[in-house]
Amino acid sequence: MKKKKRIDNLQIVSGIVIFLSFLSLILTSSDGSTIEQTYQFPESYLQDGIDPAWGDAINKALKEYQIDVRYPARPWYGKPFILQITLTERDGEINSTEETGNPAFFILDTNLDLKGVEVEPSQRLLLPIQLPQTGFVQWKILANTSDIESGRVWISLLPGADAKNSIPVLVLPITIEVRTVCGLKIWIWRVLWVGFGIAGIGILIFRRVKKTKDI
C-alpha cells in the first residue's frame, strides 16, 4: 500500500513539473507589453548650404508625416528583440503632394545609440524616400548584459546619395528594462524547463507502461 502511494505521489509530482515547465515556456515566449511612441517633425531644421527649392518642398511635405517608434518594454535577457522606426502619414492628415508637387528625393538617416547590445544589421541604417512613399527600418537587438543604459536614435536627412553632410532633425529616447531570472539568460532557463518537462513525461510514460505490465 505504501509502495502504491509512493508511486502515486511520484506521478503527481511529475504532472506538476510538466505543468510548470510548459507554463514557464509560454510565459517567457512573449516580450510582454510594447512601447509605441510618435514624434512629429520640427517646424524648421534646415541648415545653410541646402538647396532652397529642395528644402522648402521637404519642409512642407514632412509636416504631414510622423515618426513612429515601436519596441518591447521588457524584453528577456538573452532573447533578441526588434526595435522599429517607421515613417508614416500623420493621423487625420490629408496628403497634399498633389498641391505641392513631387518633393525631392531624400534619405532618412537613422543611427541607434545603445550601449551593451549586439545590433543587426548595423547601428546606422539608411532609408531612401520619395514622398508620398513611406517605409521603416528595424534593428534586431541582443542584450549583452541585463542592465542596459537608456539610449537614443538619431534621425537625420540626407539630400541625396552623394550628400556628405546630414541634417539632424530628431533625437528619440529609448528606454528598455531587460528582464532576467537569477541573472541567467532566458534560453538557459528554457532549456532547463524543456528538460524538466521531458523528464516528467518520461516518468509518467514509464509508470503507465509498468502499470500495464503488472496487470
Q: For position 44, what pLDDT does the model report? A: 72
Q: For position 95, what pLDDT does the model report? A: 53
Q: For position 3, what pLDDT does the model report? A: 53
The per-residue b/e assignment along 128-162, b for 16 or more CB within 10 angstroms, e otherwise, is ebebeeeebbbbebebeebebeebebbbbbbbeee
Q: For position 105, what pLDDT does the model report? A: 78
Q: Tell me which residue of 203, 213, 193, 201 sits closest to 8, measured CA to CA.
A: 203
Q: For position 97, what pLDDT does the model report? A: 47
Check residues 62 and 3 and name the one with the higher pLDDT: 62
The lowest-confidence range among 28-37, 53-62, 73-82, 96-105 is 96-105
Q: For position 211, what pLDDT does the model report? A: 65
Q: If you average pLDDT over every residue of the chain, what do you get?
A: 81
Mean pLDDT over 75-87 rounds to: 91
Mean pLDDT: which of 41-45, 94-98, 157-161, 189-193 is highest? 189-193
Answer yes or no: is pLDDT of 53 > 90. Answer: no
Q: For position 77, what pLDDT does the model report? A: 87
> How far apart, in whole angstroms, are the C-alpha atoms of residue 142 and residue 116?
9
User: Cβ-count burial of 72 within 10 angstroms (0-12 exposed, 13-18 middle, 19+ buried)?
Assistant: buried
Answer yes or no: is pLDDT of 9 > 80. Answer: no
